[in-house]
Amino acid sequence: MEVICKAKAFQRTCEEARQKGKSVGFVPTMGALHAGHLALIDALRACGCTGIAVSIFVNPLQFGPGEDLDRYPRTLDADLEACKSRGVDWVFVPSVEEMYPAGFSTKVRVEGLSEGLEGRFRPGHFEGVATVVAKLFALVGPCRAAFGRKDYQQLRLVERLVEDLAFPIEIVPVRTVREADGLAMSSRNRYLSPEERKRATGIVRGLRAAVEAFEKGERLAKSLEALARAPVEASFDAIDYVAVVDPKSLQPIDRIEEKALLAVAARIGQTRLIDNVVLGEERLL
């Protein structure tokens, strides 16, 4: 496994791999890797990728004032071991100065998809995401890139970015990987105390309640939102949103015809968690 710190070297490595006949798969991460990240690598292998690249970069552009940039977990040695265990070929670990050198003044914005849900509570977040993803895609070149569905809004934004800017990238969505109790795996879960960790499952109970009601025929968005909200309200300190939206446009809907995204963001102490389920497509067991 090769660890690369320079952008041009990473770009050259990916291009040389394709010239040698490799099908490149790419997993962009901010590190603190867990089983969810490893599932992305596995999904690319299953798609036939013969060369896997992972980037590890805590992107300052996607953190707002007062967010957890400084305390975001950084576990590089463990991350590299995890990548090695999964047969990753190249790990790109740039510095902030390498990604955003002096004079860097370009930002990428995806309108519409970036404005609701997370966009309301984290202004500028998706501009930071779109900017770093666009730069990483420019470096890695033609490939398959895997993104988890836990960050569903991010996934939709990246799909739109690729389509609009004609990047030669195939996006591979991967289902959310969950703990035994149903909590979605997240690097931020490690912030939780044991007591907070137990309370955090309220978000899963809320999603399950809505899924059960949907499967029994409930189609009104407000009713499903209320069912999902109750357990979250009882166990979390604050709720940013519990929303039923169209799974493509991410716009609010009143009634579900076929499918809908039910998305939740809530806070326990200083930790903010997000989760979702696509009603009519997924079941939470």
**pLDDT tens digits along 205-222:** 999 999 999 999 999 999
Task: Read off the pLDDT of residues 55-91 as tens digits, 9 standing for 90 and up.
Answer: 999 999 999 999 999 999 999 999 999 999 999 999 9
pLDDT at 70: 94
pLDDT at 285: 61
Q: Does domain 2-174 have CATH number 3.40.50.300?
A: no
125 is catalytic: no
Cα separation of 84 and 47, whole Å? 19
Q: Tokens 């968005």 belong to which residue? A: 221
Task: Read off the pLDDT of residues 115-150 as tens digits, 9 standing for 90 and up.
Answer: 999 999 999 999 999 999 999 999 999 999 999 999
pLDDT at 91: 98
Of the pLDDT bands very low, low, confident and very high (cuts 50, 70, 90), residue 28 is very high
Cβ–Cβ under 8 Å, residues 129 and 60 = no
Cβ–Cβ under 8 Å, residues 3 and 53 = no
pLDDT at 283: 81
Runs of H (alpha helix) within 47-112: 76-85, 96-99
Residue range(s) occupied by CATH 3.30.1300.10 in the chain = 187-277
Structure tokens at 214: 């949907």
Range 101-114 average pLDDT: 97
Length of the chain: 285
Cα separation of 109 and 163, whole Å? 14
224 by DSSP, 3-state: which?
helix
Structure tokens at 138: 């420019």
Structure tokens at 187: 């690097």
In CATH, what is the architecture of 187-277?
2-Layer Sandwich (3.30)
Computed over every residue of the chain, the mean pLDDT equals 97
Q: Tokens 């975001």 belong to which residue? A: 72
pTM of the prediction? 0.96
Of 242, 240, 252, the closest CA to residue 122 belongs to 240
- Catalytic-labelled residue, pool 25, 30, 37, 143: 37
Residue range(s) occupied by CATH 3.40.50.620 in the chain = 2-174
pLDDT at 73: 95
Cα separation of 29 and 54, whole Å? 7
Task: Read off the pLDDT of residues 208-266 as tens digits, 9 standing for 90 and up.
Answer: 999 999 999 999 999 999 999 999 999 999 999 999 999 999 999 999 999 999 999 99
